[in-house]
Amino acid sequence: MTRPLDPAKQQEIVQLASSGMTRNEIAKKVGCAPATVSRWANRAGIEFDRSATQSAVAARQMDLKALRSEAALRTIRRVIQLDDMFYGITDIKDLRELAATVRDTSISHFNISRLDMEDDSLVEVKGQFRDFMSDIRENAAFIEWRDKQQILEQPEQPAIEPNHRQDEP
């Protein structure tokens, strides 16, 4: 249970709030919680100027959007690098590893981008990802087929008989 606020502190909160001091400044000066300051100011019909807080929040949101944009750009660059690697791969294991990396990187890009993108752009990103993964699956099927053909076309090796020496008794 909270202790009742001393009437002198209540009066001081109202006086400081009327003078234009911020809620957090008053809370520090008086030694109480910011919510207590808000409650007593509201009871006295005083509202705090929230424009500084709103400006700070808006600036922070813009900073975070810029950071997300940079991260999205890095992930899309990585997908482009991986796409360039795709055409040189001839081993199925390497192709599967590439596909997993592309999938994970694309999901990261999508998750970062969806916070700031329009729905139409998200549909386009999903479509590009789907197309790229389809290309990887087709290449994987070709590599598997090619590997099977190479195994089938290999000539059978004659069985090697053990050496028998003539001079053994």
* pLDDT tens readout for residues 101-110: 877 877 777 7
Does 33 share its domain with 113?
Answer: no
Contact predicate 105/78, CB 8 Å: yes
Does 71 share its domain with 110?
Answer: yes
pLDDT tens column, 45-80: 988 877 777 888 889 988 988 888 888 788 778 877
The pLDDT averaged over each successive group of 10 residues in the chain (169 residues) is 80 91 92 91 87 85 86 80 76 81 79 71 71 76 80 68 57
The model scores a pTM over 0.75: no
Does 131 share its domain with 73?
Answer: yes
Instruction: Indicate the SS3 state at residue 148.
Output: helix
- Does 52 fall in a domain? no
Kindly state the tokens that stand for 120: 């139409």
Question: Domain limits at 38?
Answer: 7-43
Q: What are the start-end ranges of the E strands in 15-150?
A: none
Domain count, the chain: 2
The burial of 115, by beta-carbon neighbours within 10 Å (0-12 exposed, 13-18 middle, 19 or more buried), is given as exposed
